[in-house]
DNA sequence: AGAATAGTGTCTGTTAGACACTATTAG
DNA sequence: CTAATAGTGTCTAACAGACACTATTCT
């Protein structure tokens, strides 16, 4: 496959039969604050959509791999260092390239999804006038992960409502069959804290007793740290045992969302 | 968000702060022939990787949406018309953009996955010297959807072994929780035919009796057509009832793959 | 008839979910 | 003590998987 004629071909190759396109990465960064699912948004400091809220993101570098670009943008917008970023789960979500989605030119955006345990307040990057954690519930997405309602309070730029909805639905689906919920919790956590993650992402309460049994019975999901919390709840209650993430990455059998009898799964 | 200053900005906008990149679509087209899972491959007629086998694909048009580009490439490589293509399931798989993956220049490839019922023999497109259905089992992918073994008979160009492995794992996973298997069958099919689809994609035999009960009991998966096949099997056997795809797109509860106790799910 | 394939009956072990209960801690 | 939270016991209906069986068709 690599012969003389190929070497000659590459030496004389000039791009021609292709369309100039800009490739960007956009990030759906999710975390949990105060029991509510939040997404990281920036207020755009420049045109187009100046002053609108948008997902953080930016252009990819000339020799930068896509996951690296996503990690770099995440670091720039959150001010996290490499060590802190290592605890953040980052995965590719989908790619959006409809002509006209950016009024400037043809832009193909590779969206990434990030799950993070309690991150600090963000630091606006170069292009942003502000950066904030925004409760997902304030954005008027419908419960099934559909696109943003037109009358929502804080409208998002570009096709970011669609990307955000896809990201949230992906997150909801992945909690069912992976151990990713532990990526929202710290190094050690209690089962009620883990349950709070599920309740925040899924947007509905779960049965505490059954959740406890389920989580502790799925092999590899969590392993006991052997210690308990220092105090009980703020208004009484037993101390909770502490756990660490187990070795498994997928759950068998899965933890199914209650009350969904015919939703699409993402992908 | 759309004010005078934005109009002026866009009128005077000149691309500058971005990297020139070519965007292509690559296709993982799966079908079933003779009880075996096959993938559509083309033999490259030009450099680079001249003479190697590769996934079909090509550059996106200047004002072409990504799914349209995928459908166009699919039509070009298979010679199918729009009416036939409507029965083909096409979904975005993932995007691959590691620098150097194409020796010519920076190429970001958006991969699509297509499931099709018995397609005709393909017609090579412009850039291809040949196009063929190739049994997936002949390509030396490991059973869990890992990348191609280096010593495999027919090596694929670029990072196409990885893309193919991702596509197959996606297909395997989606059979578990969606009704997509019916996209591999025709308009009407028997339960044993549907079982053959699962067995071909999953690569393992399933229990006929339990499969029958499961499939017919999941609401919306299949609905009886009221007729039976014209003959029994070639060497005896009862006639099978015919079914049509039901209205559901997802399966509740799912059809789980046997014998996998800790595989990653795709995405 | 005999082999092969389609489809059904039935049993067993596991699981989700409901509900009631015990254990422990703050105020 | 009382309220609140953590965790356990137990029952029931549903389900996966195993196995045996009946039904039908080809040679």
* A33-69 confidence digits (pLDDT tens): 989 999 999 999 888 899 899 999 999 999 999 999 9
The predicted structure's pLDDT at residue B142: 56
Q: How confident is the model at residue B3 (pLDDT cuts 50, 70, 90)?
A: low
How far is A231 from chain B, CA to nearest CA, in Å? 36
Which residues between 51 and 80 in chain A have a beta carbon less than 8 angstroms from any beta carbon of chain B?
Answer: 51-52, 59-66
> H or E segment at B12?
none
Per residue in A116-152, pLDDT (tens digit) is 887 778 777 777 778 999 999 999 775 444 555 554 5
Predicted model pTM: 0.90
Which residues between 164 and 183 in chain B have a beta carbon less than 8 angstroms from any beta carbon of chain A?
Answer: 170, 174, 177-178
> What count of CB pairs under 8 Å joins A to B?
154
More confident residue, B168 or A5: B168
How far is A141 from chain B, CA to nearest CA, in Å? 20
Per residue in B71-97, pLDDT (tens digit) is 999 998 888 777 778 889 999 999 999
**A92 CB-to-strand C distance under 7 Å:** no
Per residue in A71-80, pLDDT (tens digit) is 999 998 888 7
Q: Which residues make Cβ contacts (< 8 Å) with residue A67, sequence separation at least 6?
A: A90, A92, A112
The predicted structure's pLDDT at residue A140: 79
CA atoms of B246 and B184, how far apart (whole Å) = 14
Range B195-214 average pLDDT: 97
Tokens found for residue A111:
């969206």
B-chain CB neighbours of A17 within 8 Å are 59
The predicted structure's pLDDT at residue B6: 59
- The overall average pLDDT reported for chain A is 86
How distant, in Å, are the alpha carbons of A217, A243, B85, B221 from that of A253? 10, 20, 37, 22
Nucleotides of D under 7 A from a protein CB: 2-10, 15-21, 23-27
Q: How confident is the model at residue A5 (pLDDT cuts 50, 70, 90)?
A: low
**A259 CB-to-strand C distance under 7 Å:** no
* pLDDT above 80: residue A231: yes
* pLDDT above 90: residue A70: yes
The predicted structure's pLDDT at residue B46: 85
More confident residue, B77 or B3: B77
Give the best residue of A24, A45, A108, A112 to mutate against chain B (max B CB count within 10 A): A108
Query: CB of B35 within 8 A of CB of A129?
Result: no
B-chain CB neighbours of A23 within 8 Å are 18-19, 21, 23, 97, 108
How far is B193 from chain A, CA to nearest CA, in Å? 25
Smallest Cα–Cα separation from B70: which of A15, A27, A169, A95? A95
**B214 CB-to-strand D distance under 7 Å:** yes
Least CB–CB distance from B66: residue in A1, A13, A97: A97
Give the best residue of B14, B19, B150, B175 to mutate against chain A (max A CB count within 10 A): B19
Q: Which residues make Cβ contacts (< 8 Å) with residue B109, sequence separation at least 6?
A: B23, B24, B25, B26, B57, B95, B96, B97, B101, B163
The predicted structure's pLDDT at residue B234: 87
Q: Is A108 on the interface with B (CB under 8 A)?
A: yes
Which residues between 124 and 143 in chain B have a beta carbon less than 8 angstroms from any beta carbon of chain A?
Answer: none
The DSSP 8-state label assigned to residue B234 in this structure reads: B
């Amino acid at each position: 496959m690599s012969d003389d004629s190929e070497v000659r071909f590459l030496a004389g190759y000039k791009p021609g039969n292709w369309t100039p396109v800009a490739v960007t990465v956009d990030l759906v960064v999710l975390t949990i604050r105060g029991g509510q699912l939040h997404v990281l948004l920036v207020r755009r400091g420049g045109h187009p959509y100046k002053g609108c809220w948008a997902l953080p993101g930016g252009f990819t570098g000339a020799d930068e791999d896509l996951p690296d670009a996503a990690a770099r943008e995440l670091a720039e917008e959150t001010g996290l260092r490499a060590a802190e970023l290592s605890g953040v789960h980052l995965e590719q979500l989908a790619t959006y390239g409809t002509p006209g989605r950016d009024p400037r030119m043809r832009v193909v955006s590779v969206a990434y999804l990030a799950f993070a345990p309690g991150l600090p307040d963000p630091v606006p990057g170069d292009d942003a006038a502000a950066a904030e954690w925004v409760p997902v519930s304030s954005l008027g997405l419908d419960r099934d992960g559909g696109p943003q309602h037109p009358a929502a309070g804080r409208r998002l730029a570009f096709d970011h409502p669609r990307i955000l909805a896809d990201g949230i639905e992906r997150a909801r689906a992945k909690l069912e069959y992976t151990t990713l919920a532990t990526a929202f919790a710290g190094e050690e956590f209690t089962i009620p804290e883990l349950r709070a993650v599920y309740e925040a992402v899924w947007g509905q309460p779960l049965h505490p007793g059954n959740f406890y049994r389920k989580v502790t019975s799925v092999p590899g999901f969590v392993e006991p740290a052997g210690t308990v919390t220092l105090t009980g709840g703020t208004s009484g209650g037993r101390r909770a045992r502490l756990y660490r993430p187990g070795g498994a990455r997928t759950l068998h059998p899965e933890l199914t969302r209650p009350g969904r009898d015919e939703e699409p799964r993402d992908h």
